[in-house]
Amino acid sequence: MDVISIGESMVLFTPETNGQMRYANQFTSRIAGAETNTLIGLAKLGHRVGWISQLGQDEFGASILSFVRGEGVDVTQVKKTTGAPTGIFFKEMINESDVQIYYYRQHSAASLMGPKDLNENYIKKSKYLYITGITPALSESCREMIFQSIKIAERNGVKIVLDPNIRRKLWSDDLAKKAIVSIAEKSNIVLPGIAEGEFLFDKRNEKEIAKSFHDLGAETVVVKLGENGAYYSTNEESGHVPALNIKRVVDPVGAGDGFATGFLSGILEQLPIQEAVARACAIGAIVATVNGDVEGLPDRAGLEKLMHTTNN
Ligand code: CKP
Ligand code: MG
């Protein structure tokens, strides 16, 4: 495997019309979850990826499993339980810049996962373990599982990539800070946003945010700057990469996962870091031009077209 990840995916319901969701009566259903969004993006580009998770033994679980499998992600480590249902969530679009997320995922099947659900032999065969700050927020046992996965990765030479993805609706600020900082201390690569840097270190400047993560031990930090692109920093080099200009944001959710897809695929293909970041910015932007979290992720041909537009 090139990349594996552990996390919860859910059925996502979006009202057909913008505005307060209380007035909505028709919804479109899709599948989403930060970890599978990124894994699906990587699979579409031809990388070998695997997902570790737990779904409910229910119709939503069946639908998620077929979808993720159908996009080319290995799902041999996905369990099903009758003990809890599959999580769902709603995306209320007041307008493109005001999107609210409502989770119905407390005590979900995925939140019951724990260290016992990890298979060392599976994790150790991967080049990268991709962690987001969502999984440790799901429950105490999920938090323990993430720290256990880090131990497994460390002892087997698997590199750790962290997207802090701080979800304040899921846990307390104190717990979030403590856990994400401890994960960052073990991560080789960190992909934060400015707001996350501010939350964790009280810093608003990308260079200072990158330095804070380097001080914790990360070798590579790429700070997402939205419409201003991204700032990357390694032990050897640093610089800014401009954003891809898009005409209109339709749905900003999932852009960060697209960014991770672009960056991870770039480093797997051994692109110079600046090119990997440019790819990350391009995929992140293009994901925001369509409804849904994975629908905008490009395949190889789409990526070539996208990067051609970016370079010209
Ligand atoms: O940071 P992003 O907007 O890229 O992440 C979006 C995903 O997993 C979305 O698919 C949702 O299911 C979630 O983050 C989450 O749990 O919030
Ligand atoms: Mg994000």
* Three-state DSSP state, 90: strand
pTM: predicted TM-score of the whole model, two decimal places: 0.96
Contact 31, 63 (CB under 8 A): yes
What's the rounded Cα separation, in Å, for the pair 254 and 10?
13
Q: How far is CA 69 from CA 40, 192, 246, in A?
A: 9, 28, 30
Task: Give nearest CA residue, ligand 1 atom 7.
Answer: 34
Task: Give nearest CA residue, ligand 1 atom 16.
Answer: 33
What's the rounded Cα separation, in Å, for the pair 170 and 173?
9
Interface pTM, i.e. ipTM: 0.97
What's the rounded Cα separation, in Å, for the pair 235 and 221?
10
pLDDT at 246: 86
Q: Which ligand is nearest to the CA of 32?
A: 1
Whether residue 206 has its Cβ less than 6 Å from ligand 1: no
Q: Return the active site residues.
A: 257
Residue 256's contacts (CB-CB under 8 Å, 6 or more residues apart) are 34, 163, 165, 191, 193, 224, 284
Task: Give nearest CA residue, ligand 1 atom 11.
Answer: 33
User: For residue 253, which atom of ligand 1 is closest to its CA?
Assistant: 3
Q: Which of 285, 292, 224 is nearest to 249 (CA)?
A: 285
pLDDT at 111: 98
What's the rounded Cα separation, in Å, for the pair 295 and 252?
12
pLDDT at 311: 64
Residues of the chain with pLDDT under 50: none
- Residue 4, sorted as left (phi over 0), alpha (psi -120 to 50) or beta, turns out to be beta
pLDDT at 58: 98
Q: Which of 190, 261, 179 is nearest to 222 (CA)?
A: 190
Q: Which ligand is nearest to the CA of 64?
A: 1
Q: Which two tokens stand for residue 254?
A: 């999932």
**Bridge partners of 159?**
128
How buried is 180 (Cβ within 10 angstroms: 0-12 exposed, 13-18 middle, 19+ buried)?
buried
pLDDT at 160: 98
What's the rounded Cα separation, in Å, for the pair 38 and 57?
24
What's the CA-to-centroid distance between 150 and ligand 2, angstroms? 20
The residue to mutate among 224, 253, 263, having the most atoms of ligand 1 within 8 angstroms of its beta carbon, is 253
Rg (CA), the chain: 18
